[in-house]
Amino acid sequence: MKNAFWLALMIAGFVYPGYQAFAAEPETKKVCIDKMDKGKPVLDKQGKPVQTCKEVKIHKKLEGTKIEDAKKSEKK
């Protein structure tokens, strides 16, 4: 019985963090672009440009270290 308890506890320990990673909502940003027709913006009744808006995900850039050129390392 103890083994079944520990087995269930270990499975829950591995599955739950993985579930949280997939359940997290991605960061989004609203981006609006003016509608164009023959090179000019389309205007509504009030004279304002008509816009098309979309929700896009924000991707995070990863920082890395600079790699030295192979030619420089051969000269040393």
Tokens of 43: 């205007």
Please, are residues 55 and 26 in contact by the beta-carbon 8 Å criterion? no
pLDDT of residue 73: 59
Q: What CA–CA distance (Å, rounded) separates 13 from 49?
A: 53
pLDDT tens per residue, range 3-15: 777 777 777 766 6
pLDDT of residue 14: 66
Domain chopping of the chain, boundaries = 2-60
- Following DSSP, what letter does each residue of 24-68 receive, concatenated? SPPPEEEEEEE-EETTEE-B-TTSPBPEEEEEEEPPPPPP-PPPP
pLDDT tens per residue, range 17-73: 655 556 677 789 999 999 998 988 899 899 999 999 999 998 888 888 877 776 665
User: pTM value?
Assistant: 0.43
